[in-house]
A and B are shown apart, each in its own frame.
Chain A
Amino acid sequence: MKFPLRQLLFFVGAIGMAILYALAFAHLPGPEGLRSMYRDVINLQTVEQRHITDAITAVNFDYRGFDTLGEEFILFVSVMGALVLLREEKDQGGEKVPDAAWPARSVPPGDALRVWTLWMTGPVVLFGIYIVVHGQLTPGGGFQGGVILATAPLLIYIAENLEVFKRITSHEWIEIAEAIGAGGYALIGLIAFFYSKPFLTNVIPLGPGGTNINVLSGGMVPLIDLTVGLEVAAGFVVLLYAFLQEMLVKQGDQ
């Protein structure tokens, strides 16, 4: 057994880390010193300058938009990485069928579950779209709404089976949506070049401001929200599809 040695090593490291952490804190200026000026500047600027009431979305998609582009590509690349890892091995042949050794799936879902989850699907889609488009006004945005949208096909999978999940997520379209989501953000950033401004400058005319701020007020931010929502929703559906596909086994293996 390696465990005792390993635990000993862990505790030596943990004590060292605890001491360094405490020492680092002893010399920190404390909560007062950690307050940044950026918070005050952004709080005073977002509504007048960008016509956005949610300061977090303003930071994410406008003031710090270039970093969020990188963040979106982290998501894109890791979905791609997961798909490469979970790719089907074609050389072995044989039709893929549900794994009979998995007892949970030999029992069909009950009627109450099916009615409830299918009834929930519509409201979940609506709620997801609402969260995506209202990111500039209230907490939410493309990342949060996209994940909610991706749960809709999952609800249908719970109520039905993998065949239905496959049919409604129609693979090529999801991949096209993901590509549009990833590329759209960068393309919106390029619009600024026509105005001789730096990449991702908010040059799209702002909508009504003041107390009349609506979902279209933020210039490029609503558009970016939409592309990010599309990217996240499509990315997660592709990921779910790849993981659910793993539950199938080759016909010959049973």
Chain B
Amino acid sequence: MIFYVACAVAAWLFLVGVYGIATSDNLVHLVLCLVVVQASTYVLLSAVGYRHGGVAPVFADVTQTQTTVDSVVQALMLTDIVVEATVVALLLAITVQIKKRTGIVDPNNVNLLRG
């Protein structure tokens, strides 16, 4: 049951984020909407790795036979978070450059193809 709820939440986060990107009037807001879209992948990955009654797969204080959540998916999520952080840094740097060159942060008015 939790699995299906989590998948629905992931779909909702994705659509809300894409709506924000589609209607954004500020480039910084647009980048943060992309963060919301990416958050949906965390929820989906957590849902895939979820086990009822599972604990974190850290065997410092639990035995190896105990039910744990999927460690492979958890490792994938770490990759996901790192990639998100780097993508956001890069996009914000592009935003700074656009603001510097054109003085505009509204994506509707940015036209970088001027001669």
Decide yes or no whether B83 CB sits under 8 A from chain A: yes
Give the shortest distance, in Å, between A154 (CB) and chain B (any CB). 14
A18 x B59 contact (CB < 8 A): no
CA of A82 to CA of B94 in the docked complex: distance in angstroms? Answer: 8
B19 to A14, Cβ gap below 8 A? yes
A contacts, CB < 8 Å to B: 2-3, 6-7, 9-10, 13-14, 17-18, 21, 25, 30-31, 34-36, 38-39, 42-44, 46-47, 53-56, 58-60, 64, 67-68, 71, 74-75, 78-79, 81-82, 85-86, 137-139, 141, 143, 239, 242-243, 246
**Given A39-B70, A55-B58, CB of A7 within 8 Å of CB of B89:** no
Which of chain A's residues has its CB closest to B54's CB? Answer: A39
**CB <8 Å contact, A53 and B50:** no
B23 CB to nearest chain A CB (Å)? 6
Q: Write the nearest CB–CB distance from A74 to chain B, whole angstroms.
A: 6
Interface contact A43-B3, CB-CB below 8 Å: no
**Please, what's the 1-or-0 string for B49-71, where 1 marks a CB less than 8 Å from any CB in chain A?**
11100001111100010001011
Q: Could you give 25 example pairs across A and B, Cβ below 8 Å?
A: A6-B22, A10-B18, A10-B22, A14-B18, A21-B11, A30-B3, A39-B49, A39-B72, A44-B64, A54-B60, A55-B59, A56-B57, A60-B79, A67-B79, A68-B79, A75-B85, A78-B89, A79-B86, A82-B90, A137-B58, A137-B60, A138-B58, A138-B60, A141-B78, A243-B96
Question: Interface residue tally of chain B, by bracket?
Answer: 35 or more
Interface majority SS on B: helix, strand, loop or mixed? helix
- Beyond contacts A42-B57, A55-B58, A243-B92: 19 other A-B pairs, Cβ-Cβ < 8 A, are A2-B108, A6-B22, A14-B15, A36-B70, A38-B72, A39-B70, A43-B57, A43-B71, A46-B59, A53-B58, A59-B72, A60-B78, A64-B75, A71-B82, A71-B83, A79-B86, A85-B93, A138-B58, A239-B89
Residues in A neighbouring B94, C-beta threshold 8 A: 85
Which residues in B have their C-beta under 8 angstroms from that of A46?
59
Please, which residue of chain B has its CB at the minimum distance from the CB of A34? Answer: B48
B102 within 8 A of A: no
Tell whether A85 pairs with B71 under 8 Å between CB atoms, given A6-B23, A71-B83.
Answer: no
Q: Is the CB of B23 within 8 A of A3?
A: yes
